[in-house]
Amino acid sequence: MRSSFPEDSVVVNQPLALALDWTIDYSTPKLRPLIPEFTKSVYAAEERTAPTTLQNLLQAYVEEEQLTGSNQWRCPHCKKDVDASKQMHLWRSSDILIVHLKRFGVDQYNMRSRLNTFVDVPLGEVDFTPYFAPDSPFREQNNRYRLYAVSNHSGGYGGGHYYAYCRPNDGDQWVEFNDSSVHSNLNPDSVITKDAYVLFFRRISDTPRTLQNLMLGDERCREGSSWLAELEREDSEAGGAAGGRAAELE
């Protein structure tokens, strides 16, 4: 028996591969079970790429985390997995502060992907004091920073390209460094993109960064007052204070 087809049908007797391209509203819950696994993982990645700010990420970094269920903490004394809490803070910072954004991860379908989240980073002053430990002796120091360089990564998980933006001499003019190409007068509004990978901040100093001040700092190092010796001294004083508080608690 011969099958009947509409007049505008095309009958193909040879094997044929078809590729379909359509637009679908992934936010509709009833449609999600019908979406192929790969498409669902792409959608899951898009859900994680909602724009955010540097301050939001820093606040999330210092929030207390509860370790329960399969993520319990192994107690070194009773040798058992127990519920616990974990919290991280900044303790001290140097004149140059580097923030590394997580750009690669594994989604719920165990697929490796690049995270294209746009992170809004201020080009002006950023105060890191709220993210220091409450008992840090360095909380009261000058923790105001200004972004001066950005290392960018474009591409995907399997490969990509690196290029950088920088403003020399702490000025307001941004310069793009891309392999052998250098472009000045970069629009400040285009400095922060989803390609931002590593952020470089410099502490805002009340003392101008002149050649004379740099030479004075170098002379102090030669006299033996090196930055390493200064760090060791400050760490020793901070450790002594913490030890005293621990003894009082005991």
135-154 pLDDT per residue, tens: 999 998 899 999 999 999 99
User: What counts of helices (H) and strands (E) characterise the chain?
Assistant: 4, 15
CA dist 181 and 1 (Å) reads 70
Specify the pLDDT at position 63: 93
Intervals of CATH 3.90.70.10 along the chain: 49-66+87-206
Its pTM surpasses 0.75: no
* Beta carbons within 8 Å of 128's beta carbon, 6+ residues apart: 58, 90, 93, 97, 143, 144, 145
Instruction: Say if residue 245's pLDDT is above 70.
Output: no
Does the domain at 49-66+87-206 match CATH 3.40.50.300? Answer given as no
Where b means 16+ CB within 10 Å and e means fewer, 186-207 reads: eeeeebbebbbbbbbbbbbeee
In the chain, pLDDT over 90 holds for what percent of residues? Answer: 45
Do 112 and 103 form a contact (C-beta atoms < 8 A)? no
Q: Where are the alpha helices (DSSP H) in the chain?
A: 37-47, 54-62, 211-222, 227-249
Instruction: Say if residue 223's pLDDT is above 50.
Output: no
Q: What is the pLDDT of residues 67-96, one digit of tens each?
A: 999 999 999 999 999 999 999 999 999 999
